Structure 1
Amino acid sequence: MDLTLLLVFLGLLRHRKALDVAAELGLTQSAISQSLRRLRDIFGDELFLRRPHGMEPTATALALEAPVTSAVDALRGALGAARTFDPATASGVVRVAALDAEQAVLCPPLAARLRQLAPGLTLSVLPLGRGAAMEALAEGRADLVLGYVWDPPDAISSESLYAESFLVAGRAEALPDAPHIGLDAYCASDHVLISPAGDLRGVVDDQLATMKRSRRVILGLPAFLPALAAVAASGALVTLPARVARAFAPGFGLVTAEPPIPVRTFPVSVFWHRRNDADPRTSWIRQRIREVNRIA
């Protein structure tokens, strides 16, 4: 049993509606239902019965109210006395959700920084997309998320790290005028497209369509580094985030050029749940992310 389960229990006693408890705790309704199932298994009782007016507590639930309240108060007191964070002695796992661009650019220097300043912490990266990453924060399966989300839920806090643009990468013979490439040459080339969902059309194709132009995509891949390897082997081009291109294209023997069309930039941010706004451990790790971002 953990503190979240106890808070869900007390919230259901107080509000009698799962939706209100979810809003109060910053959890999804699915997380509330899962917590209630676990509570029922632990106590061997239904605890709350569904009625037209809401959730009616059983006699067992009412009998548990006083001891559970005392337990939560004691835990809150203990946590309040431990609102400091010492990286030199800290231990545990830091779980960060990120897709491959942020995995490649931010996570390696973050791991190095943690190893230097907090050797007892282990960094675990979860390859989750936007919606799944927000759910992981809400359910406590992730401490932080790196990436971009256009409209995060109200229970999620964020801090912008940088605005990402795009570059075109290819072999020198495919980009003879690098760092420039003309629109005709770009459209005449073969292209590799990065899409975690497996699509063979992206924002570049949408932009080209508005100009009554198109390109030929010969390969779709879900990650950036395999795409760079494919470009090095095939002679095609790939349009990818600028930080990834600058950091890794030279290692594949590739050069880069500015796209011949305007491609919208996107903000890369760090996200966390609002229940951790004042958490010293979360704040300390966010500060380390800001540091590695400045040198990435």
Structure 2
Amino acid sequence: MNLDKIDLNLLVYLDVLLRERNVTRSASLLGITQPAMSNGLRRLRDTFSDPLLVRTGEGMAPTERAQALQPLLRQILSSVEQVIEPSSAFDASSSDRVFRIMTSDYGEATLLPRLLKRLRKEAPDIVLDILTPSDMSFTEVEQGLVDLVINRFDTMPQSFHQKTLWRDSFSCLFAVDNPISHDFSLETYLQAKHVWVSKTGMGAGMGITPKDVKRLGWVDEALEKSGHKRQIRVFTRHYQSAALIAEQKGLIATIPTRAATAQSNNPRLVIKPPPFDIPDFELKMAWSPLLQHNVAHQWLRNLIADVTKA
């Protein structure tokens, strides 16, 4: 098939359709009518001799052929964007670009308020779409469907670019009327009941049980090394929820210090360092190699790095 017989705009249509998996929503994002989008999908099906997207009980799903095309398509369009990208610096002050950032509850609570404060001053029309780690996979991030992943990672694809934003320790939160506040030691810590918070890695947190020490994360792995185990009574995936739950008498939440200090003005909670050693962890910013040279993306990465330095 000759390229001059193909409408290359259809590749843009396909890219959005595979990401959104919804004709109406894709049409809206591209600024065209739904009939025009439907017609574009029909032409794409003729071009590739494949249905590409099929209706299921849960909406539209990509065929095997479409799944194979998606990373190639992202790479092609990213290369085209680099070719036509203006050589001048990204004008953030007038841009209304949408940046998609995947981050955990911890990253959202500790970094996002500071980032938004800078954006209001320097780029008031830029939009942030915040996703959770369970919304997408590493494969989809690698395809450039997400601008940045900001999280703590056990592993990461070698192709990703990354930057460490900060290191953090752990702190304990519990109610001021908790008797443990007068005798906070490893012994009383182990006797108490605990709130567990997910590591919030990609795909972490499904089917966790108190016996699953290897999947429980840094706090429990640190305890296990010294031959101890805490009594977990509540599992949550949100640090803010953990702090609220810790207000109940008899419960302790051991969470990252930056998340804990957000409760420093809460008169109902006490913040103390853990009575045992827990290794510090790094919060990292990672992105697809497809976005490495995008000037708008470079601006966002530099802004976030600047915010975290401050």
1:109 aligns with 2:77: no
Equivalent residues of 2:144, 2:290 under 8 A apart = no
Partner of 2:234: 219
For 1:45-60, what aligned pairs fall within 5 Å after superposition?
45-46=47-48
Equivalent residues of 2:82, 2:294 under 8 A apart = no
Partner of 2:104: 99
Structure 1 Cα separation of the partners of residues 11 and 98 of structure 2:
17
Partner of 1:35: none
Structure 2 Cα separation of the partners of residues 291 and 220 of structure 1:
34
**C-alpha deviation, 1:114, in angstroms:** 1.2
Partner of 2:138: 134
Structure 2 Cα separation of the partners of residues 76 and 106 of structure 1:
29
Deviations 1:2-54 (Å, cap 9, x if unpaired)? 46979xxxxxxxxxxxxxxxxxxxxxxxxxxxxxxx99951614469xxxxxx
Q: Which runs of 5+ in 1 are unaligned?
A: 7-37, 49-70
The 3 A distance-change label for structure 1 pair 143 and 244 is: same
Equivalent residues of 1:228, 1:252 under 8 A apart = no
Structure 2 Cα separation of the partners of residues 231 and 146 of structure 1:
26
**C-alpha deviation, 1:256, in angstroms:** 1.2
Partner of 2:169: 165
1:209 aligns with 2:224: yes
* RMSD of aligned alpha carbons: 3.1
Equivalent residues of 2:143, 2:290 under 8 A apart = no
1:258 aligns with 2:273: yes
**C-alpha deviation, 1:75, in angstroms:** 5.0
Structure 2 Cα separation of the partners of residues 259 and 200 of structure 1:
22
Length-normalised TM-score, structure 2: 0.67
The 3 A distance-change label for structure 1 pair 200 and 224 is: farther
For the pair shown, the structure with the greater C-alpha radius of gyration is 1
1:154 aligns with 2:158: yes
| Residue aligned with 2:93, SS | coil
The letter of the residue matching 1:137 is: V
Structure 2 Cα separation of the partners of residues 289 and 126 of structure 1:
17
Partner of 2:208: 199
Structure 2 Cα separation of the partners of residues 169 and 139 of structure 1:
39
The 3 A distance-change label for structure 1 pair 83 and 271 is: farther
Runs of 4+ in 1 over 6 A off after TM superposition: none
| Residue aligned with 2:247, SS | helix
The 3 A distance-change label for structure 1 pair 117 and 2 is: farther
Partner of 2:91: 86
Partner of 2:293: 278
Structure 2 Cα separation of the partners of residues 164 and 267 of structure 1:
6
Q: Percent identity?
A: 23
Deviations 1:173-215 (Å, cap 9, x if unpaired)? 33525xx931111111111111252524423333333333332
Structure 1 Cα separation of the partners of residues 247 and 263 of structure 2:
12
1:42 aligns with 2:51: no
Q: Which runs of 5+ in 2 are unaligned?
A: 1-9, 16-39, 51-75, 211-215
Structure 2 Cα separation of the partners of residues 2 and 83 of structure 1:
27
Structure 2 Cα separation of the partners of residues 242 and 290 of structure 1:
20
Of the candidates 238, 248, 270, which is equivalent to residue 233 of structure 1?
Answer: 248
Of the candidates 183, 187, 197, which is equivalent to residue 184 of structure 1?
Answer: 187
**C-alpha deviation, 1:219, in angstroms:** 1.1
The letter of the residue matching 1:90 is: S
**C-alpha deviation, 1:267, in angstroms:** 1.3
**C-alpha deviation, 1:254, in angstroms:** 1.2
The letter of the residue matching 2:147 is: D
